Amino acid sequence: MFDALISGFLMVFQWPAIGFLGLGVLIGIWLGAVPGLGGVIGLVMLLPFTIGMEPVPAFALLLGMFAVTTTSDTIASVLLGIPGTAASQATILDGYPLAQKGQAARAFGAAFTVSAFGGVFGALMLAISLPLILPLITTFASPELFMLGVLGLAMVASLSGGSVLKGLAVACLGVLMSTVGYAPTLAIPRFYFGADYLIDNLPLIPVVLGLFAIPEVMELAIRNVSISRVPKDQTEGGGLMEGVKDAFRHWWLATRCAIIGTYVGMLPGLGAAVVDWVAYGHAVQSAKDKSQFGRGDIRGVIAPEAANNATRGGSLVPTLAFGIPGSLGTAILLGALLQQGLRPGPDMLTTELPLTFSMVWMIAIANIAVSILLMFWSRQVAKVAFLPGHLIVPGVILFVFMGAWLGGASFGDWISCLVMGIVGFIMKRGGWPRPPLILALILGRLMENSFQIATRAHDGIGWVTRPVVLIIFALILVTIVLSVRGITRNKQADLGTEIASEGSEKNPIISVFFSVAMLAVFAGSSIQSIEWPGEVRDFPLFAAIPGMALVLFALIIDARGAAGAVSQHGGLGGAFRQAADQAVLSGAAVFFGYLIIMLLGMLLIGQKIVLPLFIFVYLMRWGGYGWRVAFGYAAGGWVLLVVFYDRVMSLFWYPSWLSDWLPDLLPTWLPAWLFV
């Protein structure tokens, strides 16, 4: 085995493999940093280029790109509060508050250090675990996967800001949203409202981008502030090397989370979209002082970044050893494996062992290389936190809506993104935590599939006595107790700070309106579910009935606060005006008006014109910039749309009204793809 390990190392450094590895790393940095792209899209883009290549250079290109997107996605998560990829969703909870404090460089230093460690650790665990992993993989069947999903939902209490009730209620909403579309066992569509767009589940990317990105970007626009709320010359303790020192100070946390990332990544169906929440929840629950989580605690950056990079190595274990993809990305890598004439299974652990170990080295080397590169560039990238907000907003909106479009190239993706942006804004202003909704949306699909398979395979719920199921159940109880205790202690502490944590804002008037809306959703879905067969209605009711109870309790608590606000401001009108001013509803309405006009404009003139036009109008009318700046910025956005999204990615564009007649009017020397 040692000879195979050395042979694999030498194979990576032969030309052209090392060149393709470097190219993959550079491409991965870009794909991870742009919201909505990520490693899966990169694999889809690069896979055709590997046809006809030798196996080692082909996988050097693919793995070099795929391994580093979970490092570069930290850039958007920290600077913009937008998950660069699904693997960095939890990083925003403390990364963005650090940027608001002017400590983006510190967050980068810690994140890139533990990302390199996590990636190398995951690769080493891949090398060690390949011959030994069969008993572990076969232990986790559908019952265990279902219980792991329940454990993940139990952890939402630690992500719930100041209210366990609200966190669990939002989690129920996320599970309910995961049931949109066809049921897994019977071809009966649920909650699709006659729209074909919703018949195949609610897409994750538009939901995530809308829920997190639009509210944060809108705040920059309305308040006309930079990302950092602290002037550059007044920041303290926020340097790059301070973040590196933080990573070494919390080495044991990074190690534990890397272990979590490696072994959760090995479980098919979970992957990086879940493991960062698991690692973040572990960091919160294992910390003695939880008061700063969600307000800029560096441990909230270290934990998910160490875990999500380790996942890359872990997810390759079942792919190579058994042909079972651990995630969507590894499913594409499995296709690349078969394309090269290789078969997963015993051959990859015997005759092809040097090639297998070369993949291990590719992951390790790529993670080290990207961390070094981003360390050099991070000082310049961190300066974005001090730019005027109006210069950031239009560019981010372009990436957000194009990222949403990449999910399914449907007008429904833009509508979903905008609707979830409105929902995310109301949740943020009303003190409702957003992370539990995303975690539940991801886990809900896995849980329902696993539950139905387990129930059929064991003729009911006899699977609850399986040893691993009982162990996970005990972990669920411990998790709930620790989470409730931690939030109770935080409530008792004086947490006066300028940066509010997720779900901690106090606006009972807004919260009551959102509670009533959630109650209506849960009640309506329950009534509709009753008509369906048992296998179809089980999970909607599993989410809706507890959700109604939790929302009712939260509504009672908020109603008391709202009554106090009404009494204090001399009536409902005065209380609502004060709540609206606190939540900047008027500015939000104008901003959402801009976005609605942009969506309607897409129907008429298409994305290639409406997005640059939005940039131009925004900078001129809202930002107050001159036409030269506005036109130059808009022209840059148009070039990006045409060159990258159209020519490189060959993206399908919406067939607008303009596209029906403009090509016939253009001269033959002017290609229509420049405009439609």
pLDDT of 196 above 90? no
* Per-residue pLDDT, 497: 42
Contacts 24+ apart (CB under 8 A), 413-416: 413/203, 413/205, 413/206, 414/206, 414/599, 414/602, 415/599, 416/202, 416/203, 416/206, 416/207, 416/210
User: Within this chain, do residues 596 and 483 fall inside the same structural domain, yes or no?
Assistant: no
Task: Write out pLDDT tens, residues 235-291.
Answer: 555 677 888 888 898 889 988 888 888 877 766 555 556 777 788 888 887 887 777
User: Within this chain, do residues 336 and 216 fall inside the same structural domain, yes or no?
Assistant: yes
* Per-residue pLDDT, 549: 94
Specify if 619 maps to a domain.
Answer: yes
User: Within this chain, do residues 472 and 599 fall inside the same structural domain, yes or no?
Assistant: no
Q: Is-contact 36 214, C-beta < 8 A?
A: no
User: Within this chain, do residues 175 and 300 fall inside the same structural domain, yes or no?
Assistant: yes
Residue 26, number of CB atoms within 10 A of its CB = 15
Task: Write out pLDDT tens, residues 36-51.
Answer: 566 666 776 677 677 7
Q: Is-contact 32 84, C-beta < 8 A?
A: yes
Q: Give residue 109's domain range.
A: 2-230+238-491+501-505
pLDDT of 134 above 70? no
Torsional class of 612: left (φ above 0), alpha (ψ -120 to 50), beta (otherwise): alpha
Specify if 554 maps to a domain.
Answer: no
Tell me the average pLDDT across 523-540. Answer: 89
User: Within this chain, do residues 477 and 604 fall inside the same structural domain, yes or no?
Assistant: no
Question: Who wins on pLDDT, 253 or 205?
Answer: 253
Confidence of residue 112 (pLDDT cuts 50, 70, 90): confident
CA angle 132–450–264, rounded 5-degree value: 40
Name the 3-class secondary structure at 229.
Answer: coil
Specify if 539 maps to a domain.
Answer: no
* Per-residue pLDDT, 520: 95
Residue 577, number of CB atoms within 10 A of its CB = 14
* Per-residue pLDDT, 534: 83
Rounded distance between C-alpha atoms, residue 25 and residue 232, angstroms:
31
**Percentage of the chain with pLDDT > 90?**
18
Burial class (CB in 10 A: 0-12, 13-18, 19+), 351: exposed
Rounded distance between C-alpha atoms, residue 502 and residue 305, angstroms:
19
User: Within this chain, do residues 261 and 142 fall inside the same structural domain, yes or no?
Assistant: yes
Specify if 565 maps to a domain.
Answer: no
* Per-residue pLDDT, 49: 76
pLDDT of 510 above 80? yes
| Mean pLDDT of all residues belonging to the chain | 81
pTM: 0.76
Q: Is-contact 378 108, C-beta < 8 A?
A: yes
User: Within this chain, do residues 58 and 193 fall inside the same structural domain, yes or no?
Assistant: yes
Specify if 533 maps to a domain.
Answer: no
* Per-residue pLDDT, 493: 47
Task: Write out pLDDT tens, residues 365-382.
Answer: 888 888 888 888 766 776
DSSP secondary structure letters along 82-129: --SSGGGTTTHHHHHHHHHTT-HHHHHHHHHHHHHHHHHHHHHHHHHH
Rounded distance between C-alpha atoms, residue 574 and residue 562, angstroms:
12
Domains held by the chain: number:
2
Residue 366, number of CB atoms within 10 A of its CB = 29
Confidence of residue 496 (pLDDT cuts 50, 70, 90): very low
User: Within this chain, do residues 597 and 464 fall inside the same structural domain, yes or no?
Assistant: no
Question: Who wins on pLDDT, 30 or 139?
Answer: 30
Domain end (from 505, 530, 547): 505
Alpha helix positions (H), 251-298: 251-265, 272-286
Task: Write out pLDDT tens, residues 441-470.
Answer: 877 877 888 888 888 888 777 888 888 888
Rounded distance between C-alpha atoms, residue 426 and residue 637, angstroms:
29
Specify if 132 maps to a domain.
Answer: yes
Specify if 322 maps to a domain.
Answer: yes
Cis peptide upstream of residue 16 (ω within 30 degrees of 0): yes
* Per-residue pLDDT, 514: 93
Q: Find the radius of gyration of the CA atoms of the chain.
A: 25
Domain end (from 505, 538, 564): 505
Name the 3-class secondary structure at 230.
Answer: coil
* Per-residue pLDDT, 499: 45
* Per-residue pLDDT, 74: 80
Confidence of residue 489 (pLDDT cuts 50, 70, 90): low
Backbone angles phi, psi at 181, to 5 degrees: 105, -165
Domain end (from 480, 505, 530): 505
* Per-residue pLDDT, 318: 67
Six token digits for residue 300: 């909230």
- CA nearest neighbour of 182 among 439, 528, 532, 536: 536
Tell me the average pLDDT across 202-229. Answer: 79
Specify if 108 maps to a domain.
Answer: yes
Of 72-86, 224-238, 635-649, where does mean pLDDT reach its minimum? 224-238
User: Within this chain, do residues 473 and 607 fall inside the same structural domain, yes or no?
Assistant: no
Task: Write out pLDDT tens, residues 611-664.
Answer: 999 999 999 998 889 999 999 999 999 999 999 889 877 888 999 999 889 888
Task: Write out pLDDT tens, residues 654-665.
Answer: 999 998 898 888
Rounded distance between C-alpha atoms, residue 71 and residue 318, angstroms:
23
